Amino acid sequence: MHADLILPLTIVGIVTGSMYALGAMGIVVIYKTTRVLNFAHGAIGMISAFLAYQLGYLWSMNVGIAALSAIAFSALLGFSIERFTIRPLEGKAPLIKVVVTLGWLLIITSFAGIKWGASAYHVPIKLVPEGTVGLPGVHISYADLATLAVAGVLTAALATFFRLTRLGVAMRAVADDVSSARILGIRVDRVNSTAWILGSVLAAITGILLSPKVALDTYSLTLLVIFSFAAALYGGLVSLPKAFAAAMVLGVVQSVSSGFLHLAGLADLIALAVIIFALVQPGSALMRAVAKEGA
Amino acid sequence: MTASRQKLARLVAVAVAVAAAALLPLLLSQYRAFTACQVLVFATALMGLTLITGMLGQPSLMHAELMGFGGFMTGAMVANMGINFWLAVLLAVVAGYLVGSVVGLPALRIRGLALAVVTLAIARVFDALVFPLRWLSGGVGGRSVERPTIPGLNLGSDRVYYEVLLVAFLVVLAVVLSVKRGRIGRVFGAIRETDWGSASSGVPLTRYKLLGFSLSAAIAALAGALGAGLDGSVTTQTYPWTKSVTLLAILTVMGSSSVWSPLFAAIFVVLSPAGLEHLPPLPQLFSKEQIVQFVPLISGVSLVLVMIFTPQGLVPTIGARLRKLTSRNRSRDDVPGTPGGPASPMEPGEAVGTPTHERVGGRA
């Protein structure tokens, strides 16, 4: 491998990392507020991308309207999941709620498989015009740049939101102590709903932005979530900036290592290593979070 | 009834049940016998899943991959090393046990939902890295595995191969039952409820957790190996990643704390695709490929419903109801003075129903 490949591979890795970061945002938003790890996150993004494809490609609607409709649908889906299947479990073990999201993973993936075909390839809608920007040794498409920009802006915006806005602070309060938050007059149900809507919208944005890059089938987008989990876990499932940084590092390490070693599944192996490291490192944020709630 | 007569009655009941199970293929057509074989393969594998999910309280999202590993190992050893199928199965089970010890290592530090993510990542590594290895899977086409032979027995017939699978299932059932009812089972229960608590009272957590994962993986590998012999082949399509989620889902729906749930779960997993194909109006509206997808769909819907309404699962819930019903009838016969009076608080049915309402897979 040539040393001059390292720079282009790093740039590719940063783009890949920004995809993971986008996925991690929604996972963190939902966990940070409701203490539920949403296994259906990738599936929500996947079905939103499919809906955009149905409207924008099959029914030849305006691409922007198709994407907005799909995002509205994901908000409704997230709201329904929380309102009808998570809220009735209030006060029960966190693991029960997580198992419910596994159920939704199955429901959404198999529904999309029945509707659109599980293994068939579909033409994704493209929000960003085609074209590339020349960087040293590598050309980056506008779509990749947009992904990177959206991921960066959303991370900053969400981190600010949790720190500075009333609703954001209320969300953190609910996460810390539900009953105290309720006594202080925070409408816990509404906060939980908001978190799920926000998280699902983030999943939809991720799915629609990534579908031109990752194959639009029912599995690829759903499975991409494992890399986002790795990044989110590194931030203890609560820290957005840490998750963003971890996603970038994961993307770059995967990309650069693929230049040294051609091994199928190397990316997954690295993700597994990151997940395990994030979980067992002494004083990891997640260990503390998990110890606190006894999950 | 005295205790010894009760014991005898139970022994007779078990013997009758085993004999009925052994004679079942005589009633089945060749096609149905194959289906019954598949049920036994999955029931065996799911027995392994109850060990970690039901008893240790750790949800695992990699069980189908462990089955696939067993199948591929057996096929690979027969093809590459030219050894006997049964020896290959034995080695695959040992390999499964070792893999279980390795993939169980993270569980020593991690539990609950975080461990579920780890098992999902391990499943991905199996799918993307381990299964594509040419030595193991023989490339994209997968491995063909010839049906094994035993001198004097025609294992080529599914009716006869069924008996082999039944023996394997019963052995695994006996192992799981003895684990559950013995010392190890009590330790597992303690770990499930509070692992730091049990560690502080002197339970060697490391040993027992690894034992649970290793046994579970060995059982999955055994089921996968025998399943490869049944199907005649094993490919990466045999165990897609959704299978692991479906298996965990349907076992949880049935209730992973009961040793009978694997059988019911396996019956659902195997029979529902064929059943749905003939269920009007589905065949008119959907293709075969689409109908197969209804199995995870139904599993997902029932998983969500069961979690909301009866998290300990269907088999324990229905079992408790039935026991309540029969014991109430009995008390009506025995004590005429109290017709259908309030059940005593110490009734077995009650004991299952009340304190476990927050369990997933037996874990609070």
More confident residue, B112 or B59: B59
| Residue B339 within any structural domain of the chain | no
Preferred mutation among A218, A237, A272 to probe B, highest tally of B CBs within 10 A: A272
**Lowest pLDDT segment from A37-46, B239-248, B298-307, B345-354:** B345-354
Q: Among A88-92, A130-134, B78-82, B349-353, which is the least confidently predicted range?
A: B349-353
- List pLDDT tens digits, range B85-140: 999 999 999 999 999 999 888 877 777 777 888 898 999 899 888 888 888 888 77
Cβ within 8 Å, pair A223-B301: no
User: Is there a domain that residue B213 lies in?
Assistant: yes
Give the pLDDT confidence score for residue B138 in this predicted structure.
Answer: 82
What percent of chain A has pLDDT above 90? 34
> Domain range spanning residue B72?
13-240
Q: Give the number of other Cβ atoms within 10 Å of residue A117's Cβ.
A: 16
Query: A240-260 and A142-164 helices cross at what angle (nearest 10)?
Result: 150
pLDDT score recorded for residue A108: 95
- Is A105 close to B245, i.e. CB distance below 8 A? yes
Residue in B with minimal Cα distance to A95: B113
* Interchain CB contacts (distance < 8 Å): A and B: 157
Cα-Cα-Cα-Cα dihedral sign, residues A269, A271, A276, A282: positive
Mean pLDDT, residues A247-257:
91
pLDDT at B290 over 60: yes
Chain A residues with CB inside 8 Å of B294's CB? Answer: 110, 114
β-strands B143-144, B233-234 pairing: antiparallel
Mean of pLDDT values over A213-239: 83
pLDDT band at B360, cuts 50/70/90? very low
The model's confidence at residue B353, banded by pLDDT at 50, 70 and 90, is very low
Smallest Cβ distance to B109: which of A37, A118, A279? A279
Provide the pLDDT confidence category of residue B1 given band limits of 50, 70 and 90: low
- Which pLDDT value is given to residue A27? 93
| Cβ within 8 Å of residue B319, ≥6 positions away | B258, B260, B352
Predicted confidence at residue B163, as pLDDT, reads 92
As a whole number, mean pLDDT of residues B164-191 equals 88
**Is it the case that residue A157 has pLDDT exceeding 50?**
yes
* Whole-number pLDDT of residue B195: 66
B36 has pLDDT over 50: yes
DSSP code per residue over A216-259: BSTTHHHHHHHHHHHHHHHTTTT-HHHHHHHHHHHHHHHHHHHH
Q: Which of A39, A118, A279 sits opposite B293 (nearest CB)?
A: A118
Comparing B119-123, B154-158, B341-345, which segment has the lowest mean pLDDT?
A: B341-345
* Nearest-angstrom CA–CA distance, B261 and B306: 14
Q: Kindly list the structural domains of chain A, giving each domain's residue range(s) and its CATH number in brackets, ordered by start.
A: 3-293 (1.10.3470)
Question: φ and ψ at B323, to 5 degrees?
Answer: -60, -40
Q: Name the band, by pLDDT with cuts 50, 70 and 90, for residue A139.
A: confident
Q: What is the mean pLDDT of residues A234-258?
A: 89
Q: How many Å separate Cα A237 from the centre of its chain?
A: 12
Contact indicator for A38, A101 with CB cutoff of 8 Å? yes
8 Å CB contact between B188 and B67: no
Mean pLDDT of A229-252: 89
Beta strands in B105-144, from DSSP E residues, in sequence order: 143-144
Q: At what angle do helices A166-176 and A6-34 cross, to 10 degrees?
A: 70
Whether residue B172 is contained in a domain is answered as yes
- Interface contact A85-B308, CB threshold 8 A: yes
Residues of chain B with Cβ-Cβ distance to A219 below 8 Å are: 241
Question: Number of folded domains in chain B?
Answer: 1
For B35, counting Cβ atoms within 10 Å of its Cβ (0-12 exposed, 13-18 middle, 19+ buried), the class is middle
- Does residue B34 fall inside a structural domain? yes
The per-residue pLDDT for A42 is 92
Q: Assess contact for A50 and A60: CB atoms under 8 A.
A: no
Residues in chain B: 364
pLDDT on residue B215: 94
Structural contact between residues A112 and A54, judged by C-beta atoms closer than 8 angstroms = no
In a domain, B167, yes or no: yes
CB contact under 8 A, A268 and B121: yes
Yes or no, beta carbons of B301 and A107 under 8 Å apart: yes
Asked if B293 lies within 8 A of A113 by C-beta distance, the reply is yes
Contact A103 B249 (CB under 8 A): yes
Q: What is residue A291's predicted lDDT score, i.e. its pLDDT?
A: 54
pLDDT of B45-58, one tens digit each? 999 999 888 888 88
Task: Indicate the burial class of B7 (C-beta count within 10 angstroms; 0-12, 13-18, 19 or more).
Answer: exposed
Closest-CA distance, B303 to chain A, in angstroms, reads 6
What residue of A is the nearest CA neighbor of B197? A294
* Of A106, A263, A264, Cβ closest to residue B249: A106
Q: In terms of CA atoms, which chain B residue is nearest residue A223?
A: B124
Answer whether B124 sits within 8 Å of A89, measured CB to CB.
no
Residue B229 lies inside a defined structural domain of this protein: yes
Mean pLDDT is highest, among B75-84, B215-224, B321-330, for: B215-224
How much is the pLDDT for B265? Answer: 94
The whole-number pLDDT of residue B71 equals 94
Residue A256 or residue B347, greater confidence: A256
Cβ–Cβ of B286/A114 closer than 8 Å? Answer: yes
Tens-place pLDDT, residues A168-187:
889 888 888 888 888 888 88
Length of chain A as a residue count: 295
Query: In this structure, are residues B191 and B63 in contact, taking their beta carbons and an 8 Å threshold?
Result: no
Over residues A187-203, mean pLDDT: 93
Spatial CB neighbours of B60, under 8 Å, sequence gap ≥ 6: B49, B52, B53, B116, B119, B216, B244, B248
Residue B32 included in any domain: yes
Chain B environment of A243 (Cβ under 8 Å): none
Judged by CB atoms closer than 8 Å, whether chains meet at A295 and B122 is answered as no
Average pLDDT for residues A140-144, to the nearest whole number?
A: 84
B300 contacts A104? CB cut-off 8 A: yes
Average pLDDT over residues A261-268: 81
- pTM score, whole prediction: 0.86
Higher-confidence residue: A66 or B357? A66
Segment holding A132, helix H or strand E: strand A132-135
- Residue B28 token pair: 């089945």
Per-residue pLDDT, A119: 67
Average pLDDT over residues A218-225: 81
Give, in order, the Cα–Cα distances in Å from A37 to each of A78, B50, B117, B122, B259: 14, 23, 9, 18, 29
The rounded distance, in Å, linking the Cα atoms of B297 and B300 is 5
Please work out, in degrees rounded to the nearest 5, the angle formed at the alpha carbon of residue A29 by the alpha carbons of A28 and A32.
75
> How far is Cα A154 from Cα A93, in angstroms, rounded to an integer?
31
Task: Please give the average per-residue pLDDT across B189-201, as a whole number.
Answer: 72
Nearest CA in chain B to A271: B121
Nearest-Å Rg of the Cα atoms of chain A is 19
